[in-house]
């Protein structure tokens, strides 16, 4: 582990604060889903994956498939922190007319800032993982899914495929915040028993607190030397809107972005 837990929690605060800077200025974005996944992205990109400013074009780097495309906004603070993007580059990209070509090179298909076409990423991640195996290469594939994204049938197609093909170089983290856009998942159409569903498709599973670095990094420890043929699904319990109490865990806040005085209040309310 590169950084202490204290440093990582401080980083979470800084990433959320930087997200607010970038996206309140733009006046558009998906704050609550980005705040839900903050610790997961930092745990993956900063602490686990073989992915850094020096190897973004290296074919042996680990791959991240950000399937919940509306969560892509949090990549910008994290990429800045990793030295992959400068603040100036972010600001050049995140504006009307901004060119996101640079981000296209980094992840698929998470650049869909207009909303993300949900359900596609897991199949792509499975294809990447199978490609690595066919190539006899040892890079790994990490895929971040939203829990409400798992209503998409394509997720289940890919889940069956990855389990059947023993893609043990594939790790999925589900951002389990129990919220879709309009309602809680268990009100819309129950996902539970969620972990058992993955198990039944031949996946290993772990359940963690998705805002706890101790638990997230514990689940990801030894990820390259797992003695199993199964892919791994980490179900990370989270709170949608974590860090801003007045937006947390509320339906219909999926596409909400504070503006004007509300944005100022958001800075003040942001919890470290």
Partner 1 sequence: MKVRDVFFHEIYKKTKHGEDIVIVSSDIGAPSLDDYRRDFPNRFINVGIAEQNLLAVSSGLQLAGKKVVAYALNPFPVTRAFDQVRNLMASLQIPITVTALNAGTCSAEAGYTHMPIENLSLMRTLRNLQIVNPSDEAIARKLADAVVEEPYPRYVQFDKYIEGTLYAAEDIDFRKGFITNGKESTIAVVAYGIMAHQLMKLDLPVKVIDCYSLPVQEEEFIQEIEGCTKIVTVEDGVAEGGVGSMALEILNDRGIQIPVVRKGLRFRQGYPNIFTNRELLWQEEGLDLLGLEQEIRKLCEG
Given the complex with partner 1, which of 119 and 243 has the nearer CB atom? 119
CA 175 to chain centre: 7
Given the complex with partner 1, which of 97 and 222 has the nearer CB atom? 97
Instruction: Answer yes or no whether residue 160 interacts with partner 1 by CB under 8 A.
Output: yes
Q: Which of 81, 91, 157, 237 binds partner 1 (CB under 8 A)?
A: 157
Read off the tokens for 121. Answer: 């990423």
Residues 6+ away with beta carbon under 8 Å from 189: 151
Least distance between partner 1 and beta carbon 105 (Å): 11
Q: How far is CA 2 from CA 7, 51, 120, in A?
A: 10, 14, 32
Least distance between partner 1 and beta carbon 231 (Å): 13
Supply the Cα-derived Rg of the chain in whole angstroms. Answer: 17
Q: Single out the segment in contact with partner 1 by CB under 8 A; choices: 32-40, 102-110, 195-203, 237-245.
A: 102-110
* Residues between 104 and 133 with contacts to partner 1, criterion CB under 8 A: 104, 108-109, 112, 117, 119-132
Q: How many residues does the chain have?
A: 272
Q: How far apart are CA 73 and CA 254, in angstroms?
A: 13
Q: Which of 22, 42, 66, 158 binds partner 1 (CB under 8 A)?
A: 158
Q: How far apart are CA 238 and CA 200, in angstroms?
A: 23
Residues at the site binding partner 1, with contacts judged by CB under 8 A:
59, 63, 104, 108-109, 112, 117, 119-132, 134-135, 153-154, 157-158, 160-161, 165
């Amino acid at each position: 582990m590169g950084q202490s837990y204290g440093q990582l929690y401080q980083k979470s605060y800084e990433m959320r604060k930087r997200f607010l800077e970038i996206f309140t200025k733009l006046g558009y974005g998906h704050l609550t889903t980005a705040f839900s996944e903050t610790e997961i992205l930092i745990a993956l990109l900063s602490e686990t994956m073989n992915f850094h400013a020096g190897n973004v074009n290296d074919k042996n780097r680990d791959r991240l498939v950000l399937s919940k495309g509306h969560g892509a906004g949090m990549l910008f603070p994290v990429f800045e922190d990793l030295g992959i993007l400068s603040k100036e580059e972010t600001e050049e990209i995140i504006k009307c007319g901004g060119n996101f070509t640079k981000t296209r090179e980094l992840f698929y298909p998470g650049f869909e800032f207009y909303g993300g076409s949900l359900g596609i990423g897991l199949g792509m991640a499975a294809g990447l993982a199978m490609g690595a195996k066919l190539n006899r290469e040892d890079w790994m594939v990490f895929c971040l899914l939203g829990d409400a994204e798992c209503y998409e049938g394509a997720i289940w197609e890919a889940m069956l495929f990855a389990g059947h093909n023993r893609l043990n170089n594939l790790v999925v983290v589900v951002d389990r915040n129990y919220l879709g856009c309009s309602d809680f998942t268990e009100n819309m159409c129950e996902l539970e028993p969620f972990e058992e569903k993955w198990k039944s498709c031949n996946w290993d599973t772990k359940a963690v607190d998705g805002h706890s670095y101790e638990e997230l990094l514990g689940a990801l420890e030894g990820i390259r030397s797992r003695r199993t043929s199964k892919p791994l699904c980490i179900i990370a319990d989270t709170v949608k809107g974590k860090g801003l109490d007045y937006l947390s865990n509320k339906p219909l806040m999926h596409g909400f972005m504070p503006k004007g005085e509300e944005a100022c209040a958001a800075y003040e309310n942001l919890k470290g």
